[in-house]
Structure 1
Amino acid sequence: MNLADVSLGNRTTTMVLAMVLFGAGILSFNGLARLEDPEFTIKEALVITPYPGATAKEVEEEVSDKIEQAVQQLSQLKEVESKSDRGLSTVTVRIKDKYDKFALPQVWDELRRKVGDVQGKLPPGAGPSIVNDDYGDVFGVFVAIYGDEYSAAELKEYAKFLRRELLLVPDVSKIELWGERTESIYVEPNRDRMSQLGIHPMQIINGLRDKNIVSDSGRILVGRSFIAVEPTGTFSSVREFEDLLLSGISEAGKGQIYLRDVANVRRGYVDPPVRVLRYDGHAAIGLGISTVSGGNVVTMGAAVEKRARELAPRTPLGIEFGIISLQSDAVTTAIDGFLVSLAEAVIIVIIVLLAFMGLRSGLIIGFVLALTICGTFIFMGPWDVALERISLGALIIALGMLVDNAIVVVDGVLVRTQRGQDATEAAKEVVAQTSMPLLGATAVAIMAFGAIGLSEDATGEFCRSLFRVVFISLGLSWITAVTVTPLLCIMFLKPTKPGSDGQAAGESDAYGGALYTAYRGFLGLAIRFRYITVLMVLGLFAASLWGFQYVDKTFFPDSTRPQFMVDFWLPQGTHIDNTMAVATEVEKYLQELDGATHVTTLGGAGGLRFLLTYSPEKVNSAYLQFLIDVDEYSKIDDLIAQAEHELPGLFADSEVYGRKFILGPGSGGKIQIRFSGPDPEKLRSLASQTMTILHEDGGAKAIRTDWRDQVKVVRPIVAEEEANYAGVTTPDVALTVAMGFEGEQVSIYRERDELLPIIIRAPEPERSQVQSIQNLQIWSPAAQKNIPLRQVVSDFETDFEDEIVQRLNRKSTITVHTDQKSGASSTLLSRIRPKVEGLEMGPEYEIEWWGEFRDSTRAQAGIAASLPFFLLSMVLIVIGLFNALRQPLVIWLCVPLGIIGVTAGLLLTSQPFGFMALLGFMSLSGMLIKNAIVLIDEIEIQKTRSSDVYKAIVESGVSRLRPVAMAALTTALGMIPLVLDAFFVAMAVTVIFGLMVATVLTMIVVPVFYAIFFRVPSPSPSTA
């Protein structure tokens, strides 16, 4: 069926449908969700299990190992990683790529069951385990709430008020606080008074527990009513703690003893804090807001801002807000920038068409292009594609290909009308002749992107909208080319007379211009000396393969976000108070940097995940992260270099690593070397040797391990005989030491919606020095009095131990992280890899390369998994188009020629070959095949009209020169706006240089190969 007959036979319907498509596209565009970057599912969950008092080694063996065993029963498991700290196990569960976001909730339910089943096997005092399956939630709004005149508790109350109000805003999913201080009730006993009055510590503990328990007193039937009984007596204020009766009469017979007689009771904050937030030097609380899945970030952000303005009258005077990250603004800026780039690309394409194809032809193709783009917006929403970096970039990438089909149809009609043929007959003839080849070529171009569309890993999910947009837009471009385009040609392209519109009529002069004449002569020469031509092309191809080794390799580029991070590490084991004291001085330094506008300090852990590509550091009291906003992105490289150079000199024993945010999946150092094996000492030795190699190389920075340094530990050596004689157990010793220093939580105090821990600890003077451990008193059940701790402890040893133990798939694993000082990480990796892999490890030890290398390898493997299917489909389509083998072979032999321009372009522009460049090369292959199909199809048509095959080849090349050249030129020039985008620049360079060079070669090599494979004789010089 000739679709042109249908559209031309129903002209009114066709035009009305075109206008509906145009209008619906504009409406759909306004309703599409907007994001800065496409969503991808973080298929990770955390299993967090406390084990107070246990060493990292004990946590590893007694808790983490059991959790890992339970997790490994999951059939969906990809890998399990654990981090065992003192008193805490954190197990990271990663799920196989094939499970999407719709399947994950069921997987997490199964994980909870497995973790729940293992709770009974954990040691006493461990657990319960918490499964955090929303670890990947993104809080697009992250603000700091601060006010120097307000206490941490008052700031928290206001933050809770905001959370309660803003949760009602449309499209808001979840609101979390970060860095808030938890209030607590401290009971600080006076050990001398306790000894004088004969008060046992357990009397205080039991009294606090019993007084603060909620007990069910049941209900009483009174008449027809069933009335609840609620006795009073629990604590209702901090003052009532002091009135807690401990003993009816003292040993001295001096009457009742209350808690106030032996202890000081006060309200304070849990010490030490776990996470601390500061904004521009002010103590603050972070408030993060996430968007519902599929929600519009921009709409949500605007709604939150509107509601915040409405709540402004209820904001206490002096409370201020600092913007840490506001995704709605970033999305608006990014989308506006891409829309400008899209508009620029469309304008460039139309100008090229007008310049080379004439006013009417250019306007026809420009209208069809706009119609195709609008139609694409209609189908993006139902296919879960938002307006974001990848989808809009895909439209720009596809622009040149979108006009290919229309160019072929318009050019065919234009040539025929210039020869005097009726426009209607010309349109029908062109569509009948080209519709199936164009459909096949379009399908091949779509399938060139197919592998990324089916890739199941995070990178494939991140780039999936690229395939979907290309699929929709190219499919629509073929439909509009064979329906709307011929109708427009009939309406606006009329048979012309000599001199009209700058064109000459007549078949002999249709391709008689200087360009056609020059090309005809050059092509004839190339066919005549066909083998020399092939050798020259092979030489260029070999040179490009050789030169490709000098192209830097990378994964995803850095973001152009005007904000960067400085990770700041103090020696492992540093108290958070000391860490924050240093943070105050670092803040002052960073605020004075040229171009710095705001400095956010995250102490003790990374912040909320305010970007999908941001991976927060887990809890560590020696860790600081500074987020520095700058007025110009271009200053970041210099500021990072300055901070890394100067800060270590200003703060002894500090490790400073500056880094930009990244575009795309990935976390940690660009290069990560993981050693696994049974002996921790051997693993530390291997890591140390690797760090030495990195230092000696000179091109590495931010060199560190995830085990950090060993830390000091004080071990009271219990004298078993004396302890038994005094009736003292090891838990008694542990409780005494805990209450003498950090404190021991013994109960909770309920205050409205808060549960405040009740903590017993020694007064400040008694716990400020480690020597105070010698003076601690412990209750002796045998003596019925407090005795010096040193009577049951023979010695206090100081030792060093691992505070962090990491495992991967149940094997102890230490990871060395590093980044390159300059250039691409692949260059540094190629230098150090042979040296690191040459280390003596033994058969029980393994080495794995993570970081960019692993991410890139996995992304390529995800593409490679489905690539054979699409390659086979592309081959079969080409074979089906010609029902032969030689023509497809000629076409596929031209595909590798794209590497010639790609290598030259990347080297000339100093761009790396990353994942996006790889996608660019795949799309380039589809474009080259499409052009070759159009050319070969024309040769086959010309052969049916002429017995001179040589002439058919040459004239086919001449007749296809303008459509192929226009397609290549519009594609290449349309990509120019992407050259200015950090994410797409390598892809744009790949396509622009690869397509321009390969198109020139294709217009020569395809006819030459055709002449070789079909043994077409060259004419004699006299007849050529």
Structure 2
Amino acid sequence: MQAAPEPGKAGFNLSKWALDHAPLTRYLMVVLMVLGFAAYFQLGQDEDPPFTFRAMVVRTYWPGATAQQVAEQVTDKLERTLQEVPYADKIRSYSKPGESQIIFEIKDSSRPAEVANVWYTVRKKIGDMRGTLPGNVQGPFFNDEFGDVYGVIYALHGDGFSYAELKDFADDVRQQLLRVKDVAKVDQFGVQDQKVWIEVSQKRLAQLGLDFNQVLQQLGAQNAVESAGTIQSPQDVVQVRVGGQFTDVEQLRAMPIRGSSGNQLRLGDIAEVRRGYIDPPSVKVRFQGKEVIGLGISMAKGGDIIALGKALRVATERIQGTLPVGVTLAQVQDQPASVSSSVGEFVHVLIEAVVIVLGVSFISLGLHKGGRFGWHIDYRPGLVVGITIPLVLAVTFLAMNYFGIGLHKISLGSLIIALGLLVDDAIIAVEMMVRKMEEGYDKVRAATFAYDVTAKPMLTGTLITAAGFLPIGIAKSVTGEYTFAIFAVTVTALVLSWLVSVYFVPYLGTLLLKVKPHDPDAPPHELFDTPFYTRFRRVVGWCVDHRWITIAATVGIFALGIVGMGKVQQQFFPDSSRPEIMVDIWFPEGTSFAANEAVAKRVEARLMQEEGVASVATWIGSGTPRFYLPLDQVFPQSNVSQFIVLARSLPERETIRLRLPKLLAAEFPEVRGRVKLLPNGPPVPYPVQFRVIGADPVKLRQRADEVKAAMRENTNLLGVNDNWNESVKVIRLEVDQAKARALGVTSQAIAQASRTMFTGTTVGQYRENDKLIDIVLRQSPDEREAISDIGNAYLPTASGRSIPLAQIAKPVFGWEPGVMWRWNRDYAITVQGDIVEGLQGAT
């Protein structure tokens, strides 16, 4: 067989140029290797890639309104305005009695740089239409930092210390943590606002001829901060101050109250005045069975999470030494440890991959017949390929550093994918050199021949492979932005591997490859005349001669592949390998915070008894903050609690995850429990969801119940529920307007009096240093804790006398929607459920 003719020298040969400038080639190889591995240690490290949250939360409060009134008068008007915002995409909202919350999402195609301007537009447009909302609406309030990740969370606990004292310690700890490099912000969770409670017995007031309005007016008048003017003397301006404001609780107790007959009483004689906390409590945080204040730390953009973790460990050790005895700072979440583990796993996999690639290269390129044992391995071709791996990785790290791509789960995974591809070009170039040297070419001629023959085909193959990742690179979606590093890192590594193969591999080949002895007078000859190649050529020839059979077999195998693909369960993002298990417990809509807290404590205690559990963190009345970027966040509401169960290891995590659903169902039947793992990509609330949309809430509820019944009949679904939950109890006061008018009482006065009696009315603020503490007036506990107490309530009239509320109003018990969700301005009920173990949702 004749050798292929040597190509002409019509074009530029990069391999020959590299060999002709060997000192420069050596210099570049060493410098790029050193700079690349130096760049590796400069890359920012985080758990997830940088990701722009295109969602804003708009919250509005309208005290006293029903869920439907809020939906029609507040939520709908805000949604109508949000539809006019540039890039508006999805508008989800829920309305509860007295509360509206809208989650406004803009299109995935919006550029990250434009998102801040969109949020400014939202504020401006809603500010312009604010006057069309009902008069006593509070807000709207905006949260465009919805995507902030609190990768490190600490729990501050103090035995024997009050919430107020813990809050002071937490403020000091926060101030010190903010000084740590790369800390962007530190937020506190579980803080209970202080209140000064004035609890008055209405029966006692009626006996003394006083009413709530009198007490309110006198408290407000004395504690007000008003300008008393200034005295303009010929030389000075002297400020005039009026004393009387409360500076401690004793002064409040000693405040004189004028009775209807003119006699004076001390406030402490007719009411219990005490300092306490918000009631019912706001979100509470617990860790390992103890109430704590959480401190969530968010890293600055572009920071190194591992370096931040080291700096925080040093800072917290120093801070712990300054805290009083009994006050401890424990770590709840440690994202730096997770990232460090991921990087360590990558290095481990990288070493394994390099060993495998080297092994395959040594065998496939260097295995020859002959030698002492019948076969021998020439290690030199494999060594050339082995050197190219760290060289390509080093240059890839340099490119990642230049383009601002850090180390995270996506880029690390991309590097592992690229490892199997970046050696292809080097193997082709080395194999061509070895073959030509065996045919009698010298090293330089073999190297230049390899470039002429293989450079363009290799580049074409490299670009075709890179084009396979192009859909990820050009995807205008949340998923595309999240996974962009797969495209960027893989394509960069592949293109660089081609450059290394045509520039550095020929130089390495001339240094390391060994020319086998041969007859210098013999003409070049082909080597494909061995028995293996003869049999292989015979098979190829048969396929060509029977081309239609070959084509039919190819199409058949492809069709079988398509059919088989349909049998494979689909899931774009698998669950993460983090050790946390998320446990949610949901109560019926309208459940009190106290009932929630009581059950949550029992669940917490039971979870801590489970084998393999390292720690349990509990958020009562809310979901956890975003400690992990793709977390599906649960908003604050009194009927939910969420637990972070940290397993000691991944095998134990799986054991616990499989055991917990049965445990919750058997031991806590009063709640709807849910056990889930953290996702790897953008969150999906439930694997199976159906959205029922309509304009009439009553008909919508009926249709959703039909969907829910159909889903419950499917044996592959578990925990089927809907997001409208249950209706809530309500007492409506049907007022006899004729009697009310005769007594000079309005519906507004009745509502205000009822609120003061049962919830409390803020009558002023107690000022203590830089704190403002609300002073709240309400009835004593024995007159407001039972539903029947509303029938015994007293109401002040225009004449100053108090009359029983039942004299002019009739309490009627009823039901009303507790929460009403909407989707793009239509009422929408989402019916959802989990799937049985062994199946996976196409998420």
TM-score (norm 2): 0.94
Partner of 1:157: 168
Amino acid at match of 1:75: P
CA contact 2:380–2:514 (8 Å) conserved in 1: no
CA deviations 1:601-636 (Å, max 9, x no partner) are: 111110110000112211221111121111232233
Partner of 1:813: 828
- Alignment partner of 1:21 is 2:36: no
Match of 2:527 among 492, 510, 529: 510
Amino acid at match of 1:346: V
Partner of 1:617: 634
Q: Percent identity?
A: 33
- Alignment partner of 1:485 is 2:485: no
- Alignment partner of 1:445 is 2:465: yes
- Alignment partner of 1:332 is 2:352: no
Partner of 2:813: 798
Whole-angstrom CA distance in 2 between matches of 1:113 and 1:429: 67
Partner of 1:81: 92
Query: Residue 216 of structure 1: CA displacement?
Result: 4.2
Whole-angstrom CA distance in 1 between matches of 2:242 and 2:310: 49
Whole-angstrom CA distance in 2 between matches of 1:465 and 1:216: 61
CA deviations 1:462-509 (Å, max 9, x no partner) are: 11111111122112111111111111112222431259xxxxx98546
Query: Residue 687 of structure 1: CA displacement?
Result: 1.9
For 1:150-229, what aligned pairs fall within 5 Å after superposition?
150-217=161-228, 229=240
Q: What's the secondary structure of 1:311's corresponding residue?
A: helix
Partner of 1:312: 320
Q: CA 1:184–1:725 in 2, change beyond 3 Å: closer, same or farther?
A: same
- Alignment partner of 1:3 is 2:24: no
Whole-angstrom CA distance in 1 between matches of 2:533 and 2:221: 99
- Alignment partner of 1:676 is 2:697: no
CA contact 2:16–2:444 (8 Å) conserved in 1: no
Match of 1:412 among 432, 451, 459: 432
Partner of 1:457: 477
Match of 1:775 among 789, 792, 800: 792
Q: CA 1:201–1:407 in 2, change beyond 3 Å: closer, same or farther?
A: same
For 1:461-480, what aligned pairs fall within 5 Å after superposition?
461-480=481-500
Whole-angstrom CA distance in 2 between matches of 1:481 and 1:279: 56
CA contact 1:419–1:495 (8 Å) conserved in 2: no
Match of 2:663 among 640, 646, 651: 646
Query: Residue 319 of structure 1: CA displacement?
Result: 1.9
Query: Residue 65 of structure 1: CA displacement?
Result: 1.0
Query: Residue 809 of structure 1: CA displacement?
Result: 0.6
Whole-angstrom CA distance in 2 between matches of 1:410 and 1:522: 27
Partner of 1:928: none
- Alignment partner of 1:372 is 2:392: yes
CA contact 2:86–2:118 (8 Å) conserved in 1: no
CA contact 1:605–1:616 (8 Å) conserved in 2: no
Amino acid at match of 1:389: K
For 1:196-275, what aligned pairs fall within 5 Å after superposition?
196-217=207-228, 229-247=240-258, 250-254=259-263, 256-275=264-283
Q: CA 1:311–1:225 in 2, change beyond 3 Å: closer, same or farther?
A: farther
Partner of 2:603: 586
Partner of 1:399: 419
Q: CA 1:778–1:506 in 2, change beyond 3 Å: closer, same or farther?
A: farther
Whole-angstrom CA distance in 1 between matches of 2:684 and 2:187: 23
Q: What's the secondary structure of 2:302's corresponding residue?
A: coil
CA contact 1:143–1:325 (8 Å) conserved in 2: yes
Q: CA 1:482–1:626 in 2, change beyond 3 Å: closer, same or farther?
A: same
Match of 2:137 among 126, 129, 136: 126
Query: Residue 224 of structure 1: CA displacement?
Result: 6.8
Q: What's the secondary structure of 2:90's corresponding residue?
A: strand
CA deviations 1:923-958 (Å, max 9, x no partner) are: xxxxxxxxxxxxxxxxxxxxxxxxxxxxxxxxxxxx
- Alignment partner of 1:387 is 2:404: no
Partner of 1:876: none
Q: CA 1:554–1:824 in 2, change beyond 3 Å: closer, same or farther?
A: farther
Query: Residue 222 of structure 1: CA displacement?
Result: 6.5
Whole-angstrom CA distance in 1 between matches of 2:668 and 2:422: 58
Unaligned runs of 5+ in 1: 500-504, 827-851, 857-1024
Match of 2:645 among 607, 628, 649: 628
Amino acid at match of 1:789: L
Whole-angstrom CA distance in 1 between matches of 2:611 and 2:525: 68
Whole-angstrom CA distance in 2 between matches of 1:821 and 1:798: 40
Query: Residue 100 of structure 1: CA displacement?
Result: 3.3
CA deviations 1:328-358 (Å, max 9, x no partner) are: 1111111111121112112211121112112
Q: What's the secondary structure of 1:822's corresponding residue?
A: coil
Query: Residue 539 of structure 1: CA displacement?
Result: 2.1
- Alignment partner of 1:784 is 2:784: no
Unaligned runs of 5+ in 2: 1-11, 367-378
Whole-angstrom CA distance in 2 between matches of 1:517 and 1:160: 81
Q: CA 1:231–1:511 in 2, change beyond 3 Å: closer, same or farther?
A: farther
Q: CA 1:688–1:304 in 2, change beyond 3 Å: closer, same or farther?
A: same
Whole-angstrom CA distance in 1 between matches of 2:560 and 2:402: 47
Whole-angstrom CA distance in 2 between matches of 1:212 and 1:115: 35
Match of 1:729 among 746, 759, 768: 746
Whole-angstrom CA distance in 1 between matches of 2:266 and 2:81: 49
CA contact 1:147–1:282 (8 Å) conserved in 2: no
Amino acid at match of 2:186: I
CA deviations 1:307-346 (Å, max 9, x no partner) are: 1111122112112234321101111111111121112112
Aligned length: 819
CA deviations 1:896-926 (Å, max 9, x no partner) are: xxxxxxxxxxxxxxxxxxxxxxxxxxxxxxx
Whole-angstrom CA distance in 2 between matches of 1:587 and 1:514: 71
Amino acid at match of 2:420: G
Cα root mean square deviation, aligned: 2.0
Query: Residue 637 of structure 1: CA displacement?
Result: 4.0
Partner of 2:372: none
Amino acid at match of 1:41: T
Whole-angstrom CA distance in 2 between matches of 1:737 and 1:716: 10
TM-score (norm 1): 0.78
Q: What's the secondary structure of 2:403's corresponding residue?
A: coil
CA contact 1:183–1:268 (8 Å) conserved in 2: yes
Whole-angstrom CA distance in 1 between matches of 2:584 and 2:236: 64
Whole-angstrom CA distance in 2 between matches of 1:266 and 1:100: 54
Whole-angstrom CA distance in 2 between matches of 1:587 and 1:509: 75
Partner of 2:3: none
Amino acid at match of 1:10: H
CA contact 1:614–1:667 (8 Å) conserved in 2: no
Match of 1:52 among 56, 63, 75: 63
Q: CA 1:219–1:555 in 2, change beyond 3 Å: closer, same or farther?
A: farther
CA contact 1:342–1:392 (8 Å) conserved in 2: no
Query: Residue 517 of structure 1: CA displacement?
Result: 3.0
Match of 1:751 among 741, 745, 768: 768
- Alignment partner of 1:351 is 2:367: no
Match of 1:554 among 563, 566, 571: 571
- Alignment partner of 1:97 is 2:84: no
Whole-angstrom CA distance in 2 between matches of 1:191 and 1:44: 48
Q: CA 1:514–1:208 in 2, change beyond 3 Å: closer, same or farther?
A: farther
Q: What's the secondary structure of 2:15's corresponding residue?
A: helix
Amino acid at match of 1:299: A
Amino acid at match of 2:251: E
Q: What's the secondary structure of 2:112's corresponding residue?
A: coil
Amino acid at match of 1:770: I
Amino acid at match of 2:828: T
Q: What's the secondary structure of 1:483's corresponding residue?
A: helix
Whole-angstrom CA distance in 2 between matches of 1:390 and 1:531: 43
- Alignment partner of 1:701 is 2:696: no
For 1:524-535, what aligned pairs fall within 5 Å after superposition?
524-535=541-552
CA contact 2:16–2:447 (8 Å) conserved in 1: no
For 1:586-605, what aligned pairs fall within 5 Å after superposition?
586-605=603-622
Q: What's the secondary structure of 1:271's corresponding residue?
A: coil
Q: CA 1:672–1:506 in 2, change beyond 3 Å: closer, same or farther?
A: farther
